[in-house]
A and B are shown apart, each in its own frame.
Chain A
């Protein structure tokens, strides 16, 4: 299991996390899944609308996710995962993360230590085992070429 990001995509996640600190940031990955690896072509920061406040929780409005699903469909891609930050807490899924997770999505978490982004890790839910398994993150400038080599039949375009 692998999440493939470009250096720019990684940086966009980090910058979003630092902007929202001490609150949690959140966003969505749109792209393709190939051979157990997720390839975002687009990373979209979204508003955190958790009813209990944003410093320890995040919630993506279903209406916002609906618009992303429509965009993904127009691009002939799919929502393949999400990212969020953990202010001053390790980038490890909490019990709350586990309770609200869906299988197959990549869940990237970046911890922000006193306002500075630190470790970026990614996880996938094993619904049978009832736990998160960590997946590899590859920072790869040649994301599109690698995806094409793995057998995607359609041209991937980055907006």
Chain B
């Protein structure tokens, strides 16, 4: 399945300035693995040493946070868009 992954501003520089990339995958986890395989510079910013999505990164499929779906096992369909949304906090 061809899936589009939208990158937030801070991560675009690791993808040649591209705001979105397309990958082939059948699950959210597969899409993220395909993303870091094609664009290795993104890996440390998205995944920990065990390959899990870092806590300060949120992955949305449509309007749904994939943490509350099936996580990396969430299936994706042709034409789906995954949004990488950074956690923003401070004070």
Contact = CB atoms under 8 A, between A and B. Distances in A.
Interface of A: 24, 26, 33, 50, 56-60, 62-63, 65-66, 69, 73, 78-80, 82, 84, 86, 93-94, 96-97, 100-105, 107
B90 A66 contact: no
B9 interface: yes
Contacts of B19: 73, 78
Interface stretch (B21-29, B34-42, B70-78, B81-89): B81-89
Interface of B: 6, 8-10, 13, 19, 56, 58, 60, 63, 65, 83, 85-91
A107 B89 CA distance: 11
B63 A97 contact: no
A59 B87 CA distance: 8
Given A26-B88, A57-B90, A79-B9, 12 more contacts: A56-B91, A58-B91, A59-B87, A66-B83, A69-B85, A73-B19, A79-B8, A100-B88, A100-B90, A102-B8, A102-B10, A104-B13
A105 B10 contact: yes
A69 B90 CA distance: 19
Contacts of A73: 6, 19
A83 to B, nearest CB: 10
Contact of A96 (B9, B58, B88, B90): B90
B9 A97 contact: no
Contacts of B9: 33, 78-80, 102, 104-105
Nearest to B60: A66
B90 to A, nearest CB: 4
Contacts of B87: 59, 62, 100
B39 to A, nearest CB: 17
B63 A57 contact: no
B91 A97 contact: yes
Contact of A97 (B60, B86, B90): B90
Given A69-B83, A105-B9, A62 B58 contact: yes
